[in-house]
Amino acid sequence: MEGTVKVHSALFCALLVIFAAGVQAQTDKPAGQTTAPGNAAIVGVWRSQMDGLPAITLTISDESGSLSGAVLFYLHRRDEGKPVTSTPGVPEPLMNLVFDGKTFTFQVSHRRAHPPATLKDPPVTFRIMLTGANKAAFTNLNDQASPEFEMVRTDY
């Protein structure tokens, strides 16, 4: 029995070391890839809520100084007599990304938003203005009537 416990303990320790190495490998960028110092303030996963439910998830990454990312908008339904629901849409890649250290602007295709009516729509422009540590204001620049959303960076 004691020999079995030692074997199980050794096996557990070996698996723990392998798991830790795998986690470290997943979180480290490959050699030579670092976040540009000017981009560090915007890189990460930004989230916003409405009615206590997810509204927007924005993921921004930096591959050797070049920003890229995707945005996911959630559809909120307010059916009479039922609680509000939030359903994720389809992630859309960010286009024409510009970050000046405080303001991040980008465009998203609107073609798939509400087809077939939107198939020929031009891209929609959004702005994120950093307002504090891991906080930002998200604005749709094409629709002045749309609300401004508070974004919180949750992963960076």
The CATH number covering residue 62 comes to: 2.40.128.50
Cα separation, 66 vs 36, whole angstroms: 8
Q: What is the structure's pLDDT at 65?
A: 80
Same domain, 100 and 53: yes
Cα separation, 104 vs 111, whole angstroms: 22
Cα separation, 91 vs 87, whole angstroms: 12
Q: Could you read off the pLDDT of 12-36 as tens digits, one per residue? A: 333 223 333 333 333 344 444 456 7
Q: What is the structure's pLDDT at 124?
A: 95
Number of domains in the chain: 2
Which residues lie below 8 Å from residue 40, measured CB to CB, with a gap of 6+? 62
Same domain, 77 and 113: yes
Which residues lie below 8 Å from residue 86, measured CB to CB, with a gap of 6+? 50, 51, 53, 54, 55, 74, 75, 76
Same domain, 55 and 112: yes
- Tell me if the pTM is above 0.85: no
Same domain, 131 and 71: yes
Cβ contact 122:109 at 8 Å = no
Same domain, 8 and 41: no
Range of the domain at 122: 37-155
Residues of the chain short of pLDDT 50, as ranges, are 1-33
C-alpha distance from residue 102 to each of 109, 127, 135 (Å): 24, 10, 11
